[in-house]
């Protein structure tokens, strides 16, 4: 018997008993949609945790302890090259940190405050378009800044006790021009200065702050290898800031000091002395292994590898629990398929007897019933997948409207996450359960005697 004949006969037998087939498929639909939704919910939880981790960058990066922060390593090309040779490292990032306000030029009550990192141009070159919510990376000649995924706008309001900052969730970043402020502007300064005469003569021509025009190059998302709360500027712009910083009465930018603790004057054209160094790993699950390799290379490190392991174990437990709950409904579906196929065998004993008399082999009879049960599992899986997608869209829409969760780039996060592989696995697993559930009835059908089957009522 040809495979096409078996498929046609199996479909015809299922259609002939519509009510029973529909009810059995319905039980599979419940099982398939249950396990798909449970797994999708677990994936949604895992993705939210990953987005949170990526926004901080602490669980995907390893800090190298340098001379500045208690270690012995120097931030030089030799150290960078040595780290780049270690397998599993996505990027080696030397950086220098300072803090400054970014103000909207048309309304200075809107601010983007936070940490700003200056990094080498070769690091900025590694930024790809999929790391950005909008915009593009700046070139080394542009006075622009890339803001981090967690950087938000705030509205400064004057209160009886001073000032307060209220987050602005619907702020249109691209609709404004900006100023980067070095130094500090005292809004309550009455012009009376209680300083010595010498100090007054020394700093009389130096301002307390300076505003430098700057453009936003774009906003990074959670895929970026920079900390979510940090923004990034290039080397060329930082050198311009250093020149402006010298004009202030009190320098704001980080200074370099000699062995006696005296500030080292920065000269035009000097290379930026980076004092921090970190590496970003390709896979957070290999964080501990890569950290061990870095230590073997002679570096002192600091990371959250233990936290990463705990989160990994927690995600696995949640996935197993939710998957187990969904599997219970699948077991009930399998029992329903077995019952339906057994009833079908009893009703079709004469048909089975005729098939054997006219020359059908044991494999023909067995495969016919396995195909029928497989079709039940397959159709149930398809319908279950469609229902799961629909339910997921509804739940995600409700969560987005309620603003319950947000992803690393600020967009609404998905509580129910159904990737293509889960859809394929769901339908494939449903079909496999159907085939396995049909094995016992199919085996019974092959054991029927042709003569006894023909005598059956």
Same domain, 73 and 195: yes
Which of 73-87, 101-115, 337-351, 418-432 comes out lowest in average pLDDT? 337-351
Report pLDDT for 257: 57
Lowest mean pLDDT among 19-33, 214-228, 438-452: 438-452
Residue 427 · residue 385 · CB < 8 Å: yes
Question: What is the reported pLDDT for 451?
Answer: 61
User: What is residue 194's predicted lDDT score, i.e. its pLDDT?
Assistant: 40
| Three-state SS annotation for the chain | CCHHHHHHHHHHHHHHCHHHHHHHHHHHHHHHHHHHHHHHHHHHHHHHHHHHHHHHCCCCEEEECEHHHCCCECCCHHHHHHHHCCCCEEEEEEEEEEEEEEEECCCCCEEEEEEEEECCHHHHCCCCHHHEEEECCCCCCCCEEEECCCCCEEEEEEECCEEEEEEECCCCHHHCCEEEEEECCCCCCCCCCCCCHHHHHHHCCCCCEEEEEEEEEEEECCCCCCCCCEEEECHHHHHHHHHHHCCCCCCCCCCEECCCCCEECCCCCCCCCCCEEEEEECCHHHHHHHHHHHHHCCCCEECCHHHHHHHHHHHHHHHHHHHHHHHHHHHHHHHHHHHHHHHHHHHCHHHHHHHHHCCCCHHHHHHHHHHHHHHHHHHHHHHHHHHHHHHHHHHHHHHHHHCCCECCCCCECCCCCCCHHHHHHHHHHHHHHHHHHCHHHHHHHHHCCHHHHHHCC
Whether 272 and 373 map to the same domain: the answer is no
Q: How many structural domains is the chain composed of? A: 2
pLDDT higher than threshold 70 for residue 68: yes
Statement to judge: residues 71 and 110 lie in one domain: yes
Give residue-wise pLDDT tens across range 345-370. Answer: 777 777 777 776 777 677 777 888 88
For the CA atoms of 281, 284, 287, 289, the dihedral, rounded to the nearest 10 degrees, stands at -110
Mean pLDDT of 118-144: 89
CA distance 405 to 417: 13
User: What's the mean pLDDT when you consider all of the chain?
Assistant: 80
With a CB cutoff of 8 Å and minimum separation 6, the contacts of 316 are none
The whole domain housing 8 covers 3-54+310-455
Q: Rounded to two decimals, what is the model's pTM?
A: 0.58
Same domain, 244 and 328: no
Of 303, 323, 340, which one is at a domain's C-terminal end? Answer: 303
Q: Check whether 182 has a pLDDT greater than 60.
A: yes
Cα 301 from Cα 288, distance rounded (Å): 11
Tell whether 208 and 255 lie within a shared domain.
yes
Residues 199 and 281 in one domain: yes
- Note the pLDDT of residue 332: 82
Beta bridge partners of 169: none
Radius of gyration over every alpha carbon of the chain, rounded to an integer in angstroms: 33
Answer yes or no: do 192 and 297 share one domain.
yes
CA gap 221, 132 in Å, rounded? 5
pLDDT at position 45 over 70 = yes
| Domain identity same for 39 and 76 | no
State percent of the chain over pLDDT 90.
14
Show which of 303, 328, 343 is a domain's final residue: 303
Instruction: Looking at the structure, tell me whether residues 102 and 234 fall in a common domain.
Output: yes
The answer on 101 and 203 residing in a single domain is yes
Residue 389: its pLDDT value, please? 93
Residue found under tokens 């996505």 = 90
Of 60-64, 148-152, 316-320, 404-408, the least confident? 404-408
Q: What is the pLDDT of residues 266-294, one digit of tens each?
A: 555 567 888 889 998 888 778 888 988 99
Query: Residue 316 pLDDT > 70, yes or no?
Result: yes
Q: Does residue 184 sit in the same domain as residue 220?
A: yes
Q: Are residues 315 and 356 in the same domain?
A: yes
Q: Last residue of some domain: 303, 330, 349?
A: 303
């Amino acid at each position: 018997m040809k495979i096409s004949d078996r498929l046609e006969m199996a479909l015809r037998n299922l259609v002939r008993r519509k009510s029973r087939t529909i009810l059995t498929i319905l039980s599979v639909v419940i099982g398939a949609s249950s396990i798909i939704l449970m797994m999708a919910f677990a994936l949604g939880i895992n993705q939210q945790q990953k987005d949170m981790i990526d926004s901080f960058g602490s669980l995907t990066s390893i800090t190298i302890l340098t001379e500045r922060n208690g270690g012995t390593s120097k931030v030089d090309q030799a150290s960078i090259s040595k780290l780049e040779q270690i397998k599993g490292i996505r990027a080696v990032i030397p950086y220098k940190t300072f803090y400054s306000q970014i103000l909207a030029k048309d309304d200075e009550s809107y601010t983007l405050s936070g940490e700003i990192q200056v990094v080498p141009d070769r690091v900025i070159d590694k930024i790809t378009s999929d790391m950005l919510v909008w915009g593009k990376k700046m070139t080394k000649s542009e006075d622009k800044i890339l803001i981090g995924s967690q950087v938000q706008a705030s509205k400064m309001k004057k209160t009886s006790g001073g000032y307060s900052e209220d987050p602005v969730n619907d702020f249109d970043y691209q609709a404004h021009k900006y100023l980067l402020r070095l130094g500090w502007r005292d809004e309550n300064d009455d012009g009376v200065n209680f300083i010595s005469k010498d100090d007054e003569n020394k700093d009389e021509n130096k301002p307390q702050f300076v505003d430098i025009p700057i453009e936003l190059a774009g906003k990074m998302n959670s895929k970026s290898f920079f900390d979510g709360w940090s923004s990034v500027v290039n080397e060329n712009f930082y050198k311009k800031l250093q020149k402006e910083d010298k004009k202030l009465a009190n320098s704001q930018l980080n200074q370099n000091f000699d062995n006696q603790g005296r500030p080292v004057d920065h000269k035009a054209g000097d290379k930026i002395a980076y004092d921090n160094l970190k590496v970003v790993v390709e896979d957070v699950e290999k964080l501990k292994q890569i950290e061990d390799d870095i230590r073997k290379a002679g570096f002192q490190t600091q990371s959250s590898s233990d936290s990463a392991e705990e989160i990994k174990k927690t995600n696995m437990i949640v996935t197993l629990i939710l998957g187990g709950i969904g599997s219970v409904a699948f077991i009930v579906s399998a029992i329903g398929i077995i019952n339906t196929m057994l009833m079908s065998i009893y009703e079709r004993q004469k048909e089975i007897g005729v098939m054997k008399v006219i020359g059908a082999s044991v494999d023909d009879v067995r495969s016919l019933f396995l195909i029928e049960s497989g079709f039940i599992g397959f159709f149930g899986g398809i319908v279950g997948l469609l229902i799961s997608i629909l339910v997921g869209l509804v739940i995600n829409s409700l969560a987005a409207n309620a603003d319950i969760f947000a992803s690393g780039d600020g967009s609404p996060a998905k509580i129910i996450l159904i990737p293509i592989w889960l859809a394929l696995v769901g339908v494939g697993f449903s079909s496999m359960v159907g085939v396995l559930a049909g094995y016992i009835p199919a085996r019974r059908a092959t054991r029927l005697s042709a003569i006894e089957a023909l005598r059956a009522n």
